[in-house]
Structures are given as structure tokens and as C-alpha cells.
Amino acid sequence: MILTDRFIELINTPSAALWASNCNQELEPEMVRLLGTKVEPDREHILFFLPLKYGEGLLHNFTHTDKLTFLLAIVLTNESYQLKGSYLSHRPCNSAEVEFQKEYMTGLSTAISEYQGLPGESAFNAYYHQPSVAVRMLVREAYEQTPKIGAGEKVL
Amino acid sequence: MESEAKISREMMAGLQGVVPSTLATCSKDGMANVTYISQVFYVDETHVALSCQFMNKTWHNLQENPKAVVIITCPATFTLWQLRLRYLEAQTQGPVFEEMDMQLAAIASLHGVPEGLYKIRSALICKVEQVKCLYHPHSA
């Protein structure tokens, strides 16, 4: 599946809230708020960043499953999509990726402050933690998740 | 930090719907579904109700696997709590359903959603099985 220009634009939007989710062998779900995502040039793979503080359960689950779900939601408009696919690998983030995460979280915190009237600095402190891990994912399907009639339908 | 599986007074701020909560469920074949949810409604200190509006996949997953997890956020401090839930039943009438319907209209207004779009279909009653504070600004 190839991510369209629209998806790439949304993923790169500063007000995009990003989450990843999977489950353990007992079918108990785990989810983690992410610190940013990069779409690879082939448009089929993404690399997302998560703080170890919140992501250990999700990472542990990769020892028995490669099924992975990614949520993209725009704070301002509620437009949202789920991408479903496969976990490929993970590794510690490098310094450039940590800098990228800071920029992403600064943009998101500003959006939270401006559009929702909430304390953006508090949001930054809650979500941004180091060390972090980069997870590579192959995207296979995309689903509409915006709260409206048609939510849940496959779009890509 | 894990605590008793009860909703504390402090956590009530995270149930107001100011910061939308995130809910994850899982199908029987192990594919997770994660979505923002308008309302996590306090039923009593060991039960919450989730507003079912457009959540077709969430609904389907809970029918075959009752385990869910939701993260709620205090809008003032961004304290984060993770609640592990077990789905019990869906209610389409009664005091919980009626109160959720009214509260949902207020949440829709807060988020600038057109009237009528946030219409509750059922209240998904869940038992709170575990409460974990993921982040607290005073203990970070």
C-alpha cells in the first residue's frame, strides 16, 4: 500500500497526535503516544518514535506478534485515520531523531495550547521523555477514523 | 505506579472529556484497534461507561474479546492514567445512558462539533480492573 500525499501531509502536520498499539498473547492491548513519525521515500514504510517510559509493553509484545496499528489524529479538526500493518524492527534513536522529536512535540504542544486552550508546556512534559526508540513499520491498510458516518471504512 | 483498581477523586478531572481519551481494543486474531473516544463516563468507583457512537470496530472487538485499555488525561496538569477495562454489557436506555447522552451534547459543544453528530448509540459498561498512573507532574 502506498501512502498518498494527503496522508504524508497529515503525518507531518504539527497538530497530528500519533499513537501505536498492539497486544500481548492474552489479547490485552497496549498503546503508546508517539513522539513523531517519518515516512520513508517508498511511501510504504514509516519510522515512528516512542518514549521507553511508556513503550516497554508494546516493545515486549513484538517478541510474539508483528501486528501493529498506528493512529493519526489532527487535534484541530478531529480528522483521523488508522494505519494497520507489520512491525519490522526497532532500535535506539539517534541524536538527530531526538531533535526531530523535540520539534514535533513543540509543534504539538503549541497546537494544544492555541486550539484547545490547554497548558501546552504541561503536555510537552507529560509526553516527551528520553530515551526513545525508533520502530519501523510496513503499512498495509488505512481506515477512516474521523468521528462521522463512515468511520471504520477502509480508505487505502 | 499501579494502584487499587478504583477511580479516585483526582482522576475525575480526566473523565470530563476536555482532553479526549484514547481507547485500544483487540480482535481475537490479535490486531489492535485504537481510537479517540468522546466520553469515559464515571458509573461508580469500579465501573465506567464508554460512549459508543461510530465505533464499529471497537464494538466488534469487545464482543469477541472484552479486554480494553483507556488513557485519560487531566486537562489542567496532564497527569495521565491508564485504566485496564473488562467490557460487561451495552445499555441503550436507563439512567447511565440518559446522563451520558446529555453529557455528550456538552462535550460536542465544547469541541465545536455540529449538533446531532455526537449521538450515543449505546453505553458500554466496563469494569475497571487496573489503574496505573503513567505520569504525574509532581512525581516526574
Q: What CATH number does the domain containing A14 carry?
A: 2.30.110.10
Instruction: Suggest the residue from A15, A18, A22, A27 to mutate for an interface test with chain B (most B CBs closer than 10 A).
Output: A27
Question: What confidence score (pLDDT) does residue B1 get?
Answer: 64
Percent of chain A with pLDDT over 70: 100
Q: Closest residue of B to A67, CA-based?
A: B31
Surface of A (48-67) touching B: CB under 8 A: 53-54, 65, 67
- pLDDT band for position A93 (cuts 50, 70, 90): very high
- The total of structural domains in chain A comes to 1
Are A88 and A137 in contact, with CB atoms under 8 Å apart?
yes
Per CATH, the homologous superfamily of domain B2-135 is Electron Transport, Fmn-binding Protein; Chain A (2.30.110.10)
**Nine-digit cell string for A63:** 517478541
Domain hosting A20: range is 5-144
Interface check A92 vs B, CB under 8 A: no
Question: What confidence score (pLDDT) does residue A151 get?
Answer: 79
- A153 belongs to a structural domain: no
User: What ipTM was reported for this prediction?
Assistant: 0.95
Dist. CA A37–CA A53, nearest whole Å: 18
Percent of chain B with pLDDT over 90: 69
Contact B113 A78 (CB under 8 A): yes
- pLDDT band for position A75 (cuts 50, 70, 90): confident
Percent of chain A with pLDDT over 90: 84
Dist. CA B85–CA B43, nearest whole Å: 13
> What letters, b where the CB count within 10 A reaches 16 and e where it falls short, cover B9-41?
eebebbbbbbbbbbbbbbbeebbbbbbbbbbbb
Dist. CA A124–CA A135, nearest whole Å: 21
**Nine-digit cell string for A141:** 491498510
Q: Give the pLDDT mean for B45-70.
A: 92
Interface check B30 vs A, CB under 8 A: yes
B6: left (phi over 0), alpha (psi -120 to 50) or beta: beta
Interface check B1 vs A, CB under 8 A: no
- pLDDT band for position A156 (cuts 50, 70, 90): confident
- A59 belongs to a structural domain: yes
- A74 belongs to a structural domain: yes
Q: What is the DSSP letter of B9?
A: T
Are B95 and B19 in contact, with CB atoms under 8 Å apart?
no
Instruction: Suggest the residue from A18, A105, A121, A122 to mutate for an interface test with chain B (most B CBs closer than 10 A).
Output: A122
The pair phi, psi for residue B41, each rounded to 5°, is -100, 130
Question: What confidence score (pLDDT) does residue B2 get?
Answer: 63
Domains of chain B, residue spans: 2-135
Check pLDDT > 90 for residue A31: yes
Check pLDDT > 80 for residue B54: no
Cross-chain CB nearest to B53 (options A19, A21, A147): A147
- A154 belongs to a structural domain: no
Task: Determine the 3-state secondary structure of A127 from DSSP.
Answer: helix
Q: Which of A56, A60, A71 is nearest to A21 (CA)?
A: A71
Check pLDDT > 90 for residue B109: no
Q: Tell me the angle at which helices A120-127 and A95-116 cross, rounded to the nearest 10 degrees.
A: 140
Question: What confidence score (pLDDT) does residue B140 get?
Answer: 66
- A149 belongs to a structural domain: no
Question: What confidence score (pLDDT) does residue A65 get?
Answer: 98
Q: How many CB pairs below 8 A link A and B?
A: 109
**Nine-digit cell string for B84:** 485496564
Residues A120-146 pLDDT 10s: 999 999 999 999 999 999 999 999 988
CB atoms within 10 A of CB A90: 18
The pair phi, psi for residue A3, each rounded to 5°, is -70, 130
